[in-house]
Amino acid sequence: MSDSTTQPVKATKTNVMAIVALIAGISFIPTLGVIFGHIALSQIKMTKENGRGLAIAGLVLGYVVVGFWAIIILFIVAVNSINGSLYN
């Protein structure tokens, strides 16, 4: 008869930086989402924790929001410079 004792499965934890990256990427601090996302991916690679998808989502959201704000700022600067040159 074979001994079929089962070992308990050790649940791996989710990387905290990945969770923070996702929250920061969604919120009004997208640059922190990018920073924490990169840190989380590095930690996940070394520790084999869960949360890779969360870190990537935080990175993507962070980069998208930063890009959006950069385009808005460039647009405002362009409009102001055009309006300023019209009145000189």
Give residue-wise pLDDT tens across range 54-86. Answer: 999 999 999 999 999 999 999 999 988 887 765
- Would you place residue 12 in the very low, low, confident or very high pLDDT band (cuts 50, 70, 90)? confident
Q: Which residues have CB under 8 Å from 33's CB, separation 6+?
A: 21, 22, 23, 24, 25, 26, 27, 58, 59, 61, 62, 65
- Would you place residue 4 in the very low, low, confident or very high pLDDT band (cuts 50, 70, 90)? low
The type of residue at 87 is Y
Q: Which residues have CB under 8 Å from 64's CB, separation 6+?
A: 30
Query: What's the rounded Cα separation, in Å, for the pair 55 and 7?
Result: 30
Report phi then psi at 8, rounded to 5: -65, 140
Average confidence (pLDDT) over 7-19:
82
Query: What's the rounded Cα separation, in Å, for the pair 18 and 24?
Result: 10
Per-residue confidence (pLDDT) for residue 81, from 0 to 100 = 85
More confident residue, 14 or 11: 14
